[in-house]
Structure 1
């Protein structure tokens, strides 16, 4: 066995596994903190030798909740809406309409179109409760069903990446603003 080089092979396989495991490590990417979110908007604008005022930054952060993709969308739409520097809160208000329209047509719609009718009803009921997180029992109550009957739908939505469970029995949307999208796209009931 030693002459065949098997001890070396075992050692190499051990190192290969460690290397492979490192290849597939995933870092959680959540919302940016306040300072990082402000920098994500302010610094690209500054590189273009333009500015954005604090009221505009406050409005963007309030709308996006620090979610990186939404920061990009609001930044782009605010830039496009601004006639002059600095970008203002009024520019962000105009940008909000166009950013939401674009997100509704693409980002949110792609997710919505993957849902079954039961999943859509679950998410719509959950959206009626607000951004969340929400207790499974509250969602079942909103649907007028027993909590045990919604568990498979909840599990399916978690598997699809639409929801996550921040604590036992709690359910939350994986992306901000999806609750408002569900209220816009589906009438109540």
Structure 2
């Protein structure tokens, strides 16, 4: 076997990053590794990555990891290696504040010679809750709905219908289709309570089940990236507006007795 293919991921990854880091150092540059959806990496693989980066830090080599993941990532990395929280920074990247959300819509439109009214901008900010991908969707659909400049509130109201329909058919539906029947009922119970976060006891009451019997389902939903725990005993959707989708796709109350 070669230097980085002896079959032991922890050793191989360390060797690979050390060699790459030494090459970067000799070239007076740096290696940056970007990993998205890092929360889906298996815990043993995550441990190998953390160990390799720890070795890099000890040797002061110019290798940096820029990872992105859902809020549970910090806890997962801590479980994989106890020193992870000392090795990495974990800045929270939440929704855009209102001013930044307005700018994200107004600036590209203005660059194309198109204006948007203040009330239309406010409606987009409210509907999207500052979630970057939703801002893109509402911006696209508002642009398509408008016949002329400025884009106004009527255009945004039309865009809201088409944007929600597009999200229901793709962004939300892809997540929904990965769920088991009980997981769907759990999320529907959360949606019945509102956007959240919700206490585990409140969710179990909606389902008429004991909290302890639903703990495995909650853990599975966290592992799938559908929900996260902002505090002990609390559960929240990982993306905004998902509660509305759950109420649309599972209407009525039959889910309570499913």
TM-score with structure 2 length normalisation? 0.66
CA separation of 1:128/1:21 partners in 2, compared to 1, >3 Å: closer, same or farther?
A: farther
- Which residue is equivalent to 2:125? 61
Structure possessing the higher relative contact order (Cα contacts under 8 Å, 6 or more residues apart): 1
Matched, 1:138 2:202: yes
CA separation of 1:32/1:14 partners in 2, compared to 1, >3 Å: closer, same or farther?
A: closer
- Which residue is equivalent to 2:166? 102
1:50 partner SS: coil
Distance in 2 (alpha carbons) for counterparts of 1:171 and 1:22? 32
Matched, 1:22 2:64: yes
- Which residue is equivalent to 2:181? 117
The offset of 1:84, in angstroms, is 1.0
Question: CA deviation digits over 1:133-171, x for unaligned, max 9?
Answer: 000000000000111111111111111110011111110
The offset of 1:30, in angstroms, is 1.9
1:23 partner SS: strand
TM-score with structure 1 length normalisation? 0.89
2:64 partner SS: helix
Distance in 2 (alpha carbons) for counterparts of 1:20 and 1:151? 43
2:235 partner SS: strand
2:96 partner SS: coil
Q: How many pairs align?
A: 180
Question: CA deviation digits over 1:30-78, x for unaligned, max 9?
Answer: 2101111111100010110110111001110111000000000000000
Distance in 2 (alpha carbons) for counterparts of 1:143 and 1:46? 49
1:171 partner SS: strand
